[in-house]
Amino acid sequence: MEKIKFVIDGKEVEAIRDQCVLDVARQNGIYIPGLCYNPEVKFSGGSCRLCLVEAHQAGRMSLVTACNYPIREGLEIKTDTSLVKRIRKGIIELLLARVPDSDVIKELAAEAGIDEPRFVKDEGENYHSKCIACGLCIQVCEEVVGVSAIAMLNRGPDKTPGTPYKKPSEVCIGCGACAYACPTDAIPMEDNGDTRKIWGREFKMHLCSVCGKPYIPEAQIDWIVKTTGKDRVFFDKCPDCR
């Protein structure tokens, strides 16, 4: 892997060619906000637009998303200019009007100096809970879990993740990866005794044979056994008791 140097906020930093700006910035302790990107998920990023930074290359400046902008020779990144702050603030205000209940967004708004959005807050029919429609849940389910139980329903302003036709999904294994990955904690998942509720379906949980803790949905065990050929006995004990 080819190592190259580039400049970020005036500092010369080393990176691997085509590595994304956000990863390297974070490794170097430079803060850039960003919600829809997860380094473990290949196709994530590019949607929330919170990680916009100035990229200066070949005498030209453009505003780019740090989470997928590839580092190449001669690149200079500025993360804290007035342009970056202005556009970021505009995006945060739009998100705040969409999901006024989200703590994550409220925090970003406070940081940017926004008290109240100048737009009518989405509520009633327009209520989005805390979902910013970034699509990370869908990518995780497809790419990491390999199940594709959820997809984007509708498009444009009505875009929202969900199970097909909003009916309980038959392929969902109840693993909850989507809920763990969600940057705004918008996916309701209820663990109650030996049942788990997610996406409108109830899953029976498997109990650890040692400590008795419900720790994994039966459906997930079935899935793992089916796709990897792992011995079912392996799941008798929870990771803590193994």
Partner 1 sequence: MEHTKISTIEGLNKYREKILESKKNELPTVFVCGGTPCLAKGSRQVFEAFKKEFGAQGLTGSVELGIKTTGCQGFCNKGPLVAFADKDIVYMGVKPEHVPEIIEKTVKKGEVIESLGYRDPQTKKWATEYSRIPFYGHQKKLVLKDVGQLDPAKIDDYISRGGYSALAKAFSMNPDTIIDNIEQSGLRGRGGGGFPTGRKWRSCKAIKTDVRYVICNGDEGDPGAFMDRSIMEGNPHAIIEGMIIGAYAVGSNQGYAYIRDEYPLAIENMKTAIEDARGLGLLGKNILGSNFDFDIKISRGGGAFVCGESSALMRSIGGNVGEPRAKYIRSVEKGLYDKPTVLNNVETWANVPLIITGGVQGYRKVGTKGSPGTKVFSLAGKVVNTGLVEVPMGITLRELVFDIGGGIPKGKKFKAVQTGGPSGGCIPESLLDLQIDFDSLSDAGSMMGSGGIIVMDEDTCMVDVAKYFITFLVGESCGKCTPCREGLRRMLDILTGITEGRGKQGDIELLEELCDVLKWGALCALGTSAANPVLSTIRYFRDEYEAHIKEKRCPAGVCKELITYRIDEDKCTGCTVCAKKCPQKCISGEKKKPHTIDASKCIKCGVCKTVCPFDAVIVE
The binding site for ligand FES (CB under 6 A) comprises 34-37, 45-51, 65, 67
Closer of 48 and 219 to ligand FES (Cβ): 48
**Minimal distance, residue 177 CB to partner 1, in Å:** 21
CA–centroid distance for 8 within its chain: 24
Cα 178 to Cα 183: distance, rounded to the nearest angstrom = 10
Which residue in the set 82, 155, 170, 239 belongs to the binding site for partner 1 (CB under 8 A)? 155
98 binds, among ligand FES, partner 1, none (CB under 5 to 8 A by kind): partner 1
Pair of tokens at residue 22: 């956000």
Closer of 77 and 198 to ligand FES (Cβ): 77
Closer of 95 and 205 to ligand FES (Cβ): 95
Mark 61-100 with x for binding to partner 1 (rule: CB under 8 A) and - for no binding.
--xxx--xxx------------x--xx--xx--xx-xx--
Judged by CB under 8 A, the chain residues 6 through 45 that form the site for partner 1 are: 18, 43, 45
User: 79 CB contacts (<8 Å, ≥6 apart)?
Assistant: 8, 9, 25, 30, 31, 32, 53, 54, 66
Which residue in the set 52, 77, 205, 238 belongs to the binding site for partner 1 (CB under 8 A)? 52
Phi-psi sector, 30: left (phi>0), alpha (psi -120 to 50), beta: beta
Pair of tokens at residue 227: 């796709």
Please report, as ranges, the residues that interact with partner 1 according to CB under 8 A.
18, 43, 45-50, 52, 63-65, 68-70, 83, 86-87, 90-91, 94-95, 97-98, 118-120, 132-133, 135, 152, 154-159
